[in-house]
Amino acid sequence: MLICPLDFRYGRKEMKEVFSEDHRIDTQLKVEAALARAHAKAGNVPKSAAKVITDKASISIITRERVYEIESETKHDVMAVVKALSEKCGDAGKYVHLGATSNDIIDTTTALQFKASLDIVEKDLISLLSALADLSEKHRNTVCMGRTHGQNAIPTTYGFKVAGYVSEVMRHIERLQECRKRVCVGKLSGAIGTAAALGPKARQVQELMMKDLGLGYEEAATQVVCRDRYTELVCLMANICTSCERYATEVRNLQRSEISEVAEAFDAKKQVGSSTMAQKRNPIVSENVCGLSRIVRGFVTPTFENMVLWHERDLSNSSAERFTLPHVMVLTDEILSKMEGVFRGLTVNKDNMLRNINAAKGMIMAEPVMMALTAKGIGRQEAHEVLRSRSLMAEQKGWDLQRALLQDPLVKKHFTKAELAKVMDPMNYLGFAPQMTDDVIAKARKMIP
């Protein structure tokens, strides 16, 4: 019976495998093997026993079915893994899980899943960065409407708009790289973190084990790795997904029929936009990104609540994390992949961008005229009032702004019709948008292998 959409609709194979049940059990086995090897290096157990445990610690030998069978009796998932491994190791089985508590294995396994999943997300971010940089560079000089409050503002370029996304994704890559040392952290310190059961070489064993696994370790653990680390990870994923929702929302808005400046790719041969309105071409991928991003953010609250455990630990976090952590990472990967696909296949309609600028009847050029007046020695506030009143007049009479301005004595005193037209040419009021776009793209290219 399939219930969760991750089972049949969302999620990519590589990331789902990281959080699959077989991989989780296999990783727990690998952690148990690393524990045995660390004990052997410290001289606590025979090297031959560690080798046997390592050789047997595989899902191909310790099957999920056998683990579940034992768990049905023990009612304890980690102990089921320990027993299943021990029974395959003969005499060496007595050294399995030596000195450890369940969360030494669980949290270290989770850290390895984080490590693998962050590698995938980082690749996703770099792929998205590449797509955005290409799009931004291509449209460095493509003039389009800038909008604030849902209203026309002043001209910009589409390349500069996308450069903002490029810069944001670069920050996410930096955040991800910086968080690894805090997130990819396991533990081997026993029941309440004192490492009492691990003997006099406990700290050496923990260091050897985590070095073997390529992880950091909790320096002053309770029975669990402190969940502020998990909160940082989930908040970062929510941040990344919310950025994608922002980009997707802009695509959706710019694809509105009355704006029609960009559009998602559409397979004209087979794709259907609506079951009844045959003409429809909907931004369905961007809409999907928006919906899935909200799910990821929804897991932020339980992740914060999972930080608050009784004393050295309780079990209230465990059931929640079985949902939150796999869903957050699988959906983040899905969202980033879809967002890259949107921008790789995006249609940018330059003609409609110019159409929308021209339809504004010069209103979006009020600011450059105001600044040109101040350059003539007119006070900024006086110039602002001229543009405000003449804009209202133009709107009331259905005129373009240039016509209304040419009836103002102050404007006529300082500008000829040709001079005013030059000031009001959108191509002449892009500021440093193209140059700033170039700077952002150059920085991005250094991050892309």
Q: Which of 23, 39, 136, 274 is catalytic?
A: 274
Quote the radius of gyration of the chain (alpha carbons, Å).
Answer: 30
Residue position matching structure tokens 């009355």:
258
From the CB of residue 148, how many other CB atoms can be counted at a distance below 10 Å?
8
Q: What are the residue ranges of helices labelled H in 42-101?
A: 47-56, 64-74, 77-86
Name the nearest CA neighbour of 313 among 76, 28, 103, 78: 103
Q: Which one of 149, 257, 275, 311 is the catalytic residue?
A: 149
Rounded (10°) CA dihedral 72, 73, 75, 80 = -80
Does 58 participate in catalysis according to the annotation? no
By the 8 A CB rule, do 321 and 112 touch? no
User: How many angstroms from the chain centroid is the CA of residue 432?
Assistant: 29
- CB of 192 closer than 8 Å to CB of 312: yes
C-alpha 64/C-alpha 205 separation (Å) is 28
* Structure tokens that stand for 190 in this block: 């026993």
On whether the CB atoms of residues 259 and 360 are closer than 8 A, the answer is no
Q: Which two tokens stand for residue 285?
A: 């991928």
**Is residue 60 annotated as a catalytic residue, yes or no?**
no
The whole-angstrom separation of Cα 398 and Cα 404 is 10
234 touches 303 (CB < 8 A): yes
Distance (Å, rounded) from C-alpha 232 to C-alpha 242?
A: 15
Do residues 400 and 420 lie in contact, with contact meaning Cβ atoms separated by under 8 Å?
no
Q: Which residues are catalytic?
A: 149, 274
